[in-house]
Every structure is written in C-alpha cells, then in structure tokens.
Amino acid sequence: MDFANCSDSELWRLITYGNREVFQHLYETYYDGLYFYGMHITQDEDRVKDTIQDLFVRLWTNKKQIDIRHSMKFYLFSAFRRNLLKQLKKDTLKVDSSVLNNVSQSQNFMDVWMMEEKNQSTALYLQKYINQLSPRHKEIVHLKFFEGLNYSEISSLTGLDQQYLYNIINKVSGLLRAQIDKKKLSEL
C-alpha cells in the first residue's frame, strides 16, 4: 500500500490500531534524517543509532498514549533531539562543540545549491563558506533546508524566537547569494 498520500494524522491513527506496515513506513521514511541530524549533534554513531532505535521502540510501545495530530516529522525530531541530549548528558559525554560541522554530509542540502548553480566549484566554494558559520547557524540552516522544518517547528525545537530564525535564514541566504555572485564575478 502507498502511504505517501496519507496525512500524518491518518498514518498515526493506523499505527495506533497496530498497523506494522505503516510503522515500518514511518521508520524507513525518517531514519536517515534522524541519523544525519544526530550525527551533527554528536559523532557517537552507536549512541545516535541506539537513540533512534529507542525512540521507535517507545513510539510503538506507547502508541495508544501518544497523540500526534499534525507533524509526525516535528514530533520525531523533537523527541529524538530531547532523548539524544538526555542520553549524552546521562552518559557524561560531551556534545560536540562543532554542531553541524559536517554539513558536507548533508548531500541533499548541498544538492539544492549545486542544482541552482550546476557548477561543482561553486558548490565547493559554498561548502567552505557554510563551514565557517557558527554552530547554531549551521543547525538552523540544516533544519530549515535539509529537514524542511518550518520556522515554528525550528523555534519549538531550538527554543529560539521565530523572528530571530527569520533574520538568520535571510542573512545566511543573502550571504550565500553574495558569495555565489562574488564567485561568478571572479570567474569572468
């Protein structure tokens, strides 16, 4: 069965009725995004995988008590982030201070820029520039462009004001466009 046309509330209703096929679809749909997001928070791959696994086990076990009415993606990312940070703190592991230093792993994010410019050297130039952003700005860019979360969801997830997020995304987008223009001018 194709679940792509079902709303999140419909999918969740099917899961609460015990539909394992829908649950498997949910797992397959969100695993990679959760994994890459987790790897930007910590380089402990085993911890990231364990936290994802624990999230889905708890989701299935407590499916009758959980109420997801709107965005499944937001629920999963916020629960995952909360659980991962709790586990890192509990394990007395230090969260990598260079959060999202590996935006280069987020090929989907870079693909957007590469498709727009269709130029590998421009993409590499942008990648270098993105790596110079602060860890917080990289996290915001990752959540907005790679994960496709809206400003309200990013605000809830990070605890940052929506206006601040608008300003950061506009500033970073403008700076990246300026870098693209600068690169094009230098190639003339």
Going along the chain from its start, the domains and CATH numbers come out as 8-90 (1.10.1740.10), 103-187 (1.10.10.10)
Quick one: which H or E segment has residue 96?
A: none
Per-residue pLDDT of 11-57, as tens digits, reads 888 888 998 998 999 899 899 999 988 888 888 899 999 999 999 99
**Global pTM?**
0.58
Q: How far apart are CA 50 and CA 39, in angstroms?
A: 12
Per-residue pLDDT of 132-168, as tens digits, reads 888 888 888 778 877 788 888 888 888 899 999 988 8
160 phi, psi to nearest 5 deg? -95, 150
**With the CA atoms of 8, 9, 15 and 17 taken in that order, what torsion angle do they form, in degrees rounded to the nearest 10?**
-160
